[in-house]
Amino acid sequence: MAMEVLAYQLQGLRRCYEEGPTRRAALDDLSLAIPQRSFMAVVGPSGSGKSTLLSVMGALDRGYEGKIEILGRDLRGMNERELGRLRNDFIGFVFQSFHLLPHLSVLENVASPALFAPSCRGAEEAARKALDRVGLLDRANDRPQHLSGGQRQRVALARALVRSPPILLCDEPTGNLDSRTGHEVIDLLERLHAEESRTIIVVTHEERLAQRARRRVELVDGKVVNDTGEVP
Ligand SMILES: Nc1ncnc2c1ncn2[C@@H]1O[C@H](COP(=O)(O)OP(=O)(O)O)[C@@H](O)[C@H]1O
Ligand SMILES: [Mg+2]
């Protein structure tokens, strides 16, 4: 049987920060194999390395040692341009604090990553489709600040989806939301996993979000201390 290429192959990842005279490992010899179409939660106490892991996995941080393959592409030896292209083609990011631009409409915010694509002609159409996907097409012409927190995070999700990346990386996507609006985002992530064949990796403090994922990886001091594997 031919083995399908993994979404991620992480081997011996280490990421150190200088702290005065000492070096502190935010990631400490971390290895993970993540198949495509995974829905994985990364949990762990504050400072355990979750955000560090996500930025290394998103090819946003190059200061690590070890090996990363994304869909079979080895990041070592790639230059900034190649890394940029890989991010654009393969990865959508969602952050705790939405990062929407207040002077742009909802539609323009969602379209913005598509405008930098080699062909931006379909950007508006793609943005409308992504907004429809998150149930907010009727708010296309509003400004983000007129939306609720949960709606803003859904707009951020639409923006992450606009170029249809196979991988979605979310860092505490419900961290700034109350429990009711947090639900909108959790439901949406679950649907994106169930109905589209995306790999979703979500860092979270929230038990009810972690429980919806199919695999749970727990970090302490930059090490994996618990990994349920994919639960069928
Ligand atoms: N830019 C940085 N400079 C120095 N130390 C950092 C930096 N980013 C993270 N750290 C340290 O790395 C460790 C892991 O941080 P982080 O990945 O943000 O944890 P988490 O997201 O799990 O709360 C912490 O000890 C933090 O202080
Ligand atoms: Mg964090």
CATH code for position 173: 3.40.50.300
Q: Ligand 1 in contact with 198 (CB < 6 A)?
A: no
C-alpha distance from residue 217 to each of 22, 168, 214, 220 (Å): 28, 16, 10, 10
The total number of structural domains that make up the chain: 1
Q: Whose CA is nearest to atom 9 of ligand 1?
A: 52
Question: Closest ligand 1 atom to the C-alpha of 44?
Answer: 22
Q: Ligand 1 in contact with 15 (CB < 6 A)?
A: no
In a domain, 77, yes or no: no
CA 110 to chain centre: 16
Q: Ligand 1 in contact with 22 (CB < 6 A)?
A: no
* 79: its two tokens: 């230059």
In a domain, 185, yes or no: yes
In a domain, 81, yes or no: no
For the beta carbon of residue 111, count every other beta carbon within 10 angstroms.
25
In a domain, 154, yes or no: yes
Q: Ligand 1 in contact with 49 (CB < 6 A)?
A: yes
In a domain, 1, yes or no: no
In a domain, 51, yes or no: yes
Give the contacts of 132 (CB within 8 A, at least 6 positions apart): none
**Cα of 4 from ligand 2 centre, angstroms:** 31
In a domain, 157, yes or no: yes
User: Residue 40: in which H helix or E strand, if any?
Assistant: strand 39-43
In a domain, 23, yes or no: no
Output the tens digit of pLDDT for each of the chain's 232 residues: 568 999 999 999 999 998 888 889 999 999 999 999 999 999 999 999 999 999 999 999 999 999 999 999 999 989 999 999 999 999 999 998 889 999 999 999 999 887 766 556 788 999 999 999 999 999 999 999 999 999 999 999 999 999 999 999 999 999 989 888 888 888 899 999 988 889 999 999 888 889 999 999 999 999 999 999 988 7
Pocket test for ligand 1, best of 17, 22, 54, 171 (most atoms within 8 A of CB): 17
Instruction: State the Cα–Cα distance between residues 59 and 180, nearest whole angstrom.
Output: 32
Ligand minimally distant from the alpha carbon of residue 97: 2
**Domain ranges, residue 131:** 37-60+89-227
Q: Whose CA is nearest to atom 11 of ligand 1?
A: 26
Q: Ligand 1 in contact with 60 (CB < 6 A)?
A: no
For the beta carbon of residue 129, count every other beta carbon within 10 angstroms.
16
